[in-house]
Amino acid sequence: MSLDARLAGLDALLRPLPGLVVAFSGGVDSGVLLAAAVRALGADRVVAATAVSPSLPAAELTGAAGFAASLGVRHEQPRTDELSRAGYRANAGDRCAFCKTELVEVLLPLAARLGIADVVTGTNADDVRAGFRPGIRAAAERGAWTPLVLAGLTKDDVRAAARRWELPLADKPAAACLASRIAYGVPVSAAGLARVERAESALRTALLRAGLPVRDLRVRDLGDDVARVEVDAELVDDVAARPDLLVAVSGFARVELDPRGFRSGAMNELLPDPVRYR
């Protein structure tokens, strides 16, 4: 099926709705969904909702607000408290389920107050074919639905649509929540999330000043005060030749560079296969 056909299918799903709340993380998937909703319904019938919590980098919230404003939609910024959930703090393999449960349980009442019945997320068709995604199931079980999946739009389709519509986030790197940087089994705390955010921001600045602008960067908290840094694969050798740059990653007793470079979902590699792919 062509991209045109899939986008037409997405429009057909959205157009009959009287209104819509889009769970907008600031990323390209939910951004394209938000733009598609505006194209189908008009800005006055669409609300973008970005959950604010210690797991959201401050830069992502700023970017989300700017993008929503560019579309002319109302932008709600409700606070979520996933850290109040013991399962989230424990950070077992199903952490994302507790986060998505918190998100949807905040957004559904918000939508109801606005007189809107539908809450949607930016999950795409590739996401549901990926291995370990407990958050997707949790969101669906609580009443959020996934138009990109129903329309068959993959990650490549989403980026192609963003470029076609000249959206500023067309080539935006993936930006998972800060908790995704913390190895499973290492408890999640507000202080730990802030430490990772500070480390990534400082290292990104140090790399830029060294003439090594990085696209994808992660500082992974492996526990025991050990951090593992992932950068774009093509930058690994350059960063390895400048170990002084890793001094920017403060707050950890030991910092190591991952020779394999950035990999989305790298923490899932530490899970046993039966858990990772359930």
Q: Where are the domains of the chain?
A: 3-164, 178-270
pLDDT in the model for residue 130: 65
Structure tokens at 65: 């607000």
The whole-angstrom separation of Cα 65 and Cα 49 is 10
Find the helix packing angle between 95-113 and 134-141, rounded to 10°: 30
Strand order in the sheet with 74-76: 74-76, 46-49, 20-23, 119-120
CB-based contact 91:185 (threshold 8 Å): yes
Q: How far apart are the first and last CA of the chain?
A: 29
Question: Cα separations (Å) of 196 from 23, 54, 94, 105, 224?
Answer: 24, 11, 21, 27, 14
Residue of 16, 179, 5, 8 whose CA lies nearest to 99:
179
Question: Cα separations (Å) of 129 from 110, 125, 136, 177?
Answer: 30, 7, 11, 20
The verdict on pTM exceeding 0.85 is yes
Catalytic residue among 177, 178, 236, 245: 177
Report, as an integer, the average pLDDT of 178-203: 96
Domain at 3-164, CATH homologous superfamily = HUPs (3.40.50.620)
Is 3.40.50 the CATH number for 178-270? no
Q: Is the predicted pLDDT of residue 137 greater than 50, yes or no?
A: yes
Find the helix packing angle between 28-41 and 155-164, rounded to 10°: 60
pLDDT, tens digit (0-9, with 9 covering 90-100), for 116-126: 999 999 999 98
Q: Tell me, yes or no, if 99 is annotated catalytic.
A: no
